Chains A and B, each alone.
Chain A
Amino acid sequence: NAGVMQNPRHLVRRRGQEARLRCSPMKGHSHVYWYRQLPEEGLKFMVYLQKENIIDESGMPKERFSAEFPKEGPSILRIQQVVRGDSAAYFCASSSSGVTYEQYFGPGTRLTVT
């Protein structure tokens, strides 16, 4: 499967726990974007990363959220001390070059906080 892969597809966490969402970009892509979709809303940009660099995190909540894209392995979106308001679908997208709207999306991770 050469597409963008995300895991897990579904994640249930209790309030206060940590959530780790993983994204493997398409083969040959080195630019990764994370979006969040709250219920009844459109996808909202969170962060743009290249290998080992955060390029733009202007859409990330200031606390509890972090993202990384290490030299080896998938990109990870980490949410510490989850709250019910974090329940959403989190989509990852990738592209072969930066500064582009031509992004390919993964199937998403649906996070439910109980």
Chain B
Amino acid sequence: DQQVKQNSPSLSVQEGRISILNCDYTNSMFDYFLWYKKYPAEGPTFLISISSIKDKNEDGRFTVFLNKSAKHLSLHIVPSQPGDSAVYFCAASRNDYKLSFGAGTTVTVRA
């Protein structure tokens, strides 16, 4: 039933270094992928997305890579900053409103 999986529940990284978050999916019908960031006591906020016709999308310090054959995507944050400490959710869509989320990865950026 879990169509989107984030196998690493947590990640600790030093400030200035790269954070790499991974996500796997099982449904080959997904054609749009998103990353959300969530702070405690707040709702998820959209971070970056990628269409299945691309393999990379970049927005400032954030880059998402998509490997369709492996059904795998990753989010790179370079350089990591203390304000990046949050829970990151991977989500997928069949180009409609029904988002399927992973369980999230908690990122802690150490000073």
> Which of A's residues lie within 8 Å of B, judged by CB?
4, 6, 9, 31, 33, 35, 40-45, 48, 56, 58-59, 91, 93, 95, 98-108
Contacts of A33 in B (CB 8 A): 97
Residue contact B97 to A42, C-beta cutoff 8 Å: no
Contacting residue for A91 out of B41, B43, B91, B103, CB 8 A: B43
- Please report the C-alpha to C-alpha distance between residue A100 and residue B46 in the assembled complex, in whole angstroms: 13
Q: Kindly report which residue of chain B lies nearest to residue A6, judged by CB atoms.
A: B43
Task: Determine how close the nearest CB of chain A comes to the CB of B37; give it in whole angstroms.
Answer: 11
Some 6 contacts from A to B, beta carbons below 8 A apart, are A9-B41, A33-B97, A44-B100, A91-B43, A101-B93, A106-B43
Task: Determine how close the nearest CB of chain A comes to the CB of B79; give it in whole angstroms.
Answer: 27
> Which of B's residues lie within 8 Å of A, judged by CB?
4, 6, 32, 34, 36, 41-46, 49, 89, 91, 93, 95-104
Contacts of B49 in A (CB 8 A): 101
Task: Determine how close the nearest CB of chain B comes to the CB of A58; give it in whole angstroms.
Answer: 8
Number of A-B contacts (CB under 8 A): 67
Residue contact A105 to B45, C-beta cutoff 8 Å: yes
Q: Kindly report which residue of chain B lies nearest to residue A41, judged by CB atoms.
A: B103
- Please report the C-alpha to C-alpha distance between residue A35 and residue B93 in the assembled complex, in whole angstroms: 14
Residue contact A100 to B4, C-beta cutoff 8 Å: no
Residue contact A101 to B44, C-beta cutoff 8 Å: no
Contacting residue for A95 out of B32, B41, B97, B104, CB 8 A: B97
- Beyond A42-B100, A95-B97, 20 additional pairs, beta carbon < 8 A: A6-B43, A31-B97, A35-B101, A42-B6, A42-B91, A42-B101, A43-B44, A43-B99, A56-B98, A59-B98, A91-B44, A99-B95, A99-B97, A100-B96, A100-B97, A101-B49, A101-B96, A105-B44, A106-B43, A108-B43
